[in-house]
Structure 1
Amino acid sequence: MHQPTESSILEIAKNFVLHTSQHVFLTGRAGTGKTTFLRFVKENTAKNFAILAPTGVAAINAGGVTIHSFFQLPFGSFIPVQARGFSAISNVTFDRSALLSNLRLNKQKRRLIEELELLVIDEVSMVRADLLDAMDHILRHIRRKPELPFGGVQMLFIGDLFQLPPVVKDEEWAIMNPYYRSLFFFDAVVMSQAYCVTIELDKIYRQSDQRFIELLNHVRNNMVTEEDFLLLQKHYDPDFRPDPEEGYIILTSHNFKADKINQEALRRLQNEPHQYLGNLSGDFNENALPVDKELMLKVGTQIMFIKNDKGENRRYYNGKIGTISRIHGEDINIKFPNDPEELKLEKETWKNIRYQYNELADTIEEQVLGSYTQYPIRLAWAVTIHKSQGLTFERAIVDAGQSFAPGQVYVALSRLTSLSGLVLASPITSAAIHTEHRITDFINNKTSTEALIPILKEAQQHYLTNKLFAAFNWDRLLLYYKEHFDNYGSIRLPHHAESLKWCIDMIDEIVVLKDFSDKFLHELNWLLAPQNHENFQRLFERVQSATSYFIKAITDKLIAPWQIHFDETKIKTKTKKYLKSLQPLYTLLLRKKQQMEQATILAEGLATGKNIHHLLEHFQNTHKNIPAVLLYQEAPSSLKINADTKENKPAPVTKLKPESTKTISLKMFLEGKDIASIAAARNLALSTIEGHLLNFISSGEVLLNQLVSPEKEMVIRAAINKAPNEKSGVIREITGEACSFTEIKAVMAQVEAEKQETKREVEKTEL
């Protein structure tokens, strides 16, 4: 049988994630390209996705958020049973009932979870089984799909189980032991219900020495031979003292050991010390800083990079060792071993984000909450084995004594590019090499690479079929319009009865179309049955006929009435908030129309025998970022930019000189760039960009929820009510440091704009 190449394995993995709804566990030894794959998915998927990680640092490095913050999970142990006689969350355990009864997710977060299609969990080796079960329970509940694992969301797990394991205390394990075989993620209850393909990346980009790769495999799989021990023994040299020019780093077991070695080595350098402070902006957890806030550097300091070079030449990578050769203020030069050319060190910016659902664009977006800027280096005479995970070294001295934890031998050895750069300061015994049998059992039972191909084809067929069914499913559209109807009781409109009637009429039309569509779904189910796969021509004819009918109905009976209602409403007073609530409903109509058009293309592709992979690629390309384009192309004049008819006079905007610095920042912000990116592109401080955007709160060009979370808005509004005429400094004293000055000023600007709007309405009434 043909043995798949590494490139074909990568393609299989990409197709599973991009073009199926199949759960995937992507694994591989250190240096096989897992991080690169994650970056590819993030840049190429058309699905609504989020990236989560078990720790703050891992989340920052992955470009995502922590699992606990995303789901608002309590800390403690989750027991996967319905109820155990209590409903409150203790400081030790919580069950399903307690989890849901204490769930505090606002409407925006619930909508975000409802719209998820793909959830990526990075560094999954550290994710406990009970944490995964808690996530699963919330997803099923919020998405109203209790019968589906993870509520129907596709899961992509990324990590190496042979690296650092999940942490559990003895007293916690005593409570959870009756429910779990182990606390590795694959022993979660949900994983016994969710079929997950395991794809292992085999090609080692870090090592090329075949004997070393073989040794690492043996360590990884509890198969170390006498010959392997003899080979390691040859590298044991407790008296080794490296030449400073060679760039050796010591891998040790504890933080205090690494810190002591680094500080003593720095102190011995006779050169002048220079301190560099990292810059925190906005909301950024100081406990999750990827690099020290205070860097003390001297000429001669041995450093290592903690990020890959973004430039074209890629002169450094995560873990590369160098020496500071020159310091002049902010100008720092790095010299690498055996490289005559020096590198000018530049600062990097890490972002703290949160995910939000943009109803108008029908997409999940990242919102930057804060950022941290610092040089991407740390002192590198020594580092702990824990912190070395994910790094690459050419030369290292491994000094862990007898304190190796399971997996640490493999982590330490696999950091190196070759055996020639390895020195053991303490011997490695057979007792120190131990891999959990549950891990080896799980990996040994994974699906073979050859068997993945037919599984992929079936999963793609299933995914395509589901896309066809989704086109004729009106549940989501009906749900959103009913939710809009439910909101009429909480809004005051001068034309309340007219608006209410319009909404009822829209719902009635959707129900009629849904009834027709439900009948067609039964026919579609028969047309897609296995016995009909030989002849898809009939499928294409029926889908083409159905979509032609529904597209016309959507245009005439839903989009046109929506446009009329919007245009009639916009000329009336006190309707700004209501008009904003209508716009997502319009996006949903366009999305449904788009789904119908895509269904025709998919059915035609099946009828003409097109490759399913190519069909799904086409689907992804047409689906990605379509709503915003459709809104501009098809929206009524009232939604278009710069529409300036008398009937659609735009809201007054802040008058600025052409291309003023504030206008430039606003344009970049409206183009979709986050504040950190704008600051970097314009070489300005984050606080400056934030100040620019505050000017556009009152005009409505920048929305308050783009700068301030609903939770913080409530806190700040309460503080303003307590001290209505005070400045931001007094408000900050009331709110505490949880709210930034920018957030406070943004809410104050919004409150002032609301006061002015009320004043204008009163004046109109008096006239």
Structure 2
Amino acid sequence: MEFDSDANEVIFVGLVIEFDEGISMILVGDLGQLPLVNDRPAYDSNRRAKLLWEEFKTMITLDKVFRQDGENIQQQRFHQLLTNLRDANPKIDDWKLLMMRTPITLDVARNNYFDNVVHFFSTNENVHNHNKRMLYSLNHPVAHSLAIRARSVNTIEDCSNDELDLELLINKNSRVMLTSNLWIQVGLVNGVLGYIQKIVYKPGSAPPEPLTYVLVEFDSYSGMPFEDHHPNIIPITPIQRGGTLQLPLRLAWALTIHKSQGLTLSKATIDIGSRERIGLTFVIVSHVKSLEGLRIMPPFTYDHYEKMKNGKQLSKRKAEENRLKFLEDNLM
């Protein structure tokens, strides 16, 4: 079987459970990916999630690589590096290979290749600081969009979901990410990137009144053009989620490594931070198509890299993977 996996070893697992009514539930995922922030994997939970998880008795491994396709020597070496990363099996040669992708070791032309790419950090604070610095470097007026209740434009409601931010600062040429699935068929999906081209208010209104819409030029959009001469530019209006109204956008010069999950990146600059968590480096490196599309800034020591094998959850994850492998080997 084939699936979009992240390395060349056993990565994605499919678990199947069939209910009495003949309805099946299929879970597809990778235990090597990061769990939700401040959460634990289902197999290590004390809640009902673990009981449901243990009801799954059918396991199928999906191991064909699509994201890092290609069978040349460089890609094969990258596949092996990813496998070692996923298994928290640090190798000095892998670390040396990664350190060849730092600003110090790349020449000027290769460093310029990474201008304006998304920069991934391990913390929200670093993401906020980088986005704010880039925002004001554009030297355009900044619009301040506050989340509001759908029925009252004067009441700010706390936004606790991932789709809508409490506050959004944007200006012309801001790099943004769509945070909601608006029109899947034409590429307007959660995670697609674009640039703000125009900010529009109602006639006669101005800040701090709510925005009417913004025009965004998306990297990938295949629907009908809003403007014939700019086929990728379309209007994005505020949407309502849980009684809250806000633009489904987020500044995206920088994102957290957690937010990289689900993205396929041609190139990215990454900062893995001062604390190596199991899965952190693997997640972001594995979402880049090739080693040539990776820049690491700043460099990190091998001692820092080696700490991945000391993750508290590593032994639990490997024990669960062994259990799932046993299920697959004994599949009738």
Provide the TM-score with structure 2 as the length reference: 0.67
Q: Which amino acid letter does the alignment assign opposite residue 269 of structure 1?
A: L
1:214 and 2:86 equivalent?
no
Q: Which amino acid letter does the alignment assign opposite residue 179 of structure 2?
A: I
Give matches, 1:549-698, under 5 Å. none
**Could you list the per-position Cα deviations for residues 562-608 of structure 1 after superposition, in whole angstroms to 9, with x for gaps in the alignment?**
xxxxxxxxxxxxxxxxxxxxxxxxxxxxxxxxxxxxxxxxxxxxxxx
Which residue pairs with 1:419 in the alignment? 291
Contact 1:409 1:432 in 2 (8 A): no
Change (3 A) 1:426 1:440: farther
Contact 1:335 1:341 in 2 (8 A): no
Which residue pairs with 2:247 in the alignment? 375
Change (3 A) 1:278 1:412: same
1:445 and 2:314 equivalent?
no
**Structure 2 residue corresponding to 1:250, chosen from 111, 116, 119:** 119
Contact 2:3 2:66 in 1 (8 A): no
What is the CA-CA distance between 1:443 and the residue it aligns to? Answer: 0.9
Change (3 A) 1:18 1:222: farther
**Structure 2 residue corresponding to 1:305, chosen from 156, 163, 178:** 178
Q: Which amino acid letter does the alignment assign opposite residue 292 of structure 1?
A: D
Change (3 A) 1:226 1:292: same
Q: Which amino acid letter does the alignment assign opposite residue 222 of structure 1?
A: A
Change (3 A) 1:54 1:246: closer
Distance in 1 between the 2:245 and 2:64 partners?
34
Distance in 1 between the 2:82 and 2:196 partners?
33
1:320 and 2:192 equivalent?
yes
Which residue pairs with 1:674 in the alignment? none
Which residue pairs with 2:41 in the alignment? 125
Q: Which amino acid letter does the alignment assign opposite residue 404 of structure 1?
A: E
What is the CA-CA distance between 1:232 and the residue it aligns to? Answer: 1.2
Which residue pairs with 2:277 in the alignment? 405
Q: Which has the larger radius of gyration?
A: 1
Q: What SS does structure 2 have at the residue aligned with 1:248?
A: coil
Distance in 2 between the 1:269 and 1:398 partners?
22
What is the CA-CA distance between 1:379 and the residue it aligns to? Answer: 0.8
Which structure shows the bigger proportion of residues in strand conformation?
2
Unaligned stretches of 5+ in structure 1? 32-52, 59-122, 137-148, 158-190, 352-369, 455-767
Distance in 2 between the 1:373 and 1:260 partners?
25
Q: Which amino acid letter does the alignment assign opposite residue 433 of structure 1?
A: M
Contact 2:16 2:25 in 1 (8 A): no
Distance in 1 between the 2:292 and 2:60 partners?
31
Give matches, 1:178-193, under 5 Å. none
**Could you list the per-position Cα deviations for residues 251-293 of structure 1 after superposition, in whole angstroms to 9, with x for gaps in the alignment?**
12222221111111111211222233334349x8633353312
**Higher RCO (C-alpha under 8 Å, 6+ residues apart):** 2
Which structure shows the bigger proportion of residues in helix conformation?
1
Give matches, 1:281-296, under 5 Å. 281=150, 286-296=159-169
1:233 and 2:116 equivalent?
no
Contact 1:17 1:24 in 2 (8 A): no
**Could you list the per-position Cα deviations for residues 378-436 of structure 1 after superposition, in whole angstroms to 9, with x for gaps in the alignment?**
11122222344444433221113432222211222233233222110133433243351
Unaligned stretches of 5+ in structure 2? 5-11, 152-156, 202-212, 223-229
Provide the TM-score with structure 1 as the length reference: 0.32
Which residue pairs with 1:276 in the alignment? 145
Which residue pairs with 1:334 in the alignment? 217
Which residue pairs with 1:260 in the alignment? 129
- Using the aligned pairs only, state the percent identity: 21
**Could you list the per-position Cα deviations for residues 42-74 of structure 1 after superposition, in whole angstroms to 9, with x for gaps in the alignment?**
xxxxxxxxxxx978xx9xxxxxxxxxxxxxxxx
Change (3 A) 1:377 1:440: same
Q: CA RMSD in A?
A: 4.2
Contact 2:120 2:255 in 1 (8 A): yes
Change (3 A) 1:345 1:204: farther
What is the CA-CA distance between 1:303 and the residue it aligns to? Answer: 1.4
Distance in 1 between the 2:20 and 2:290 partners?
35
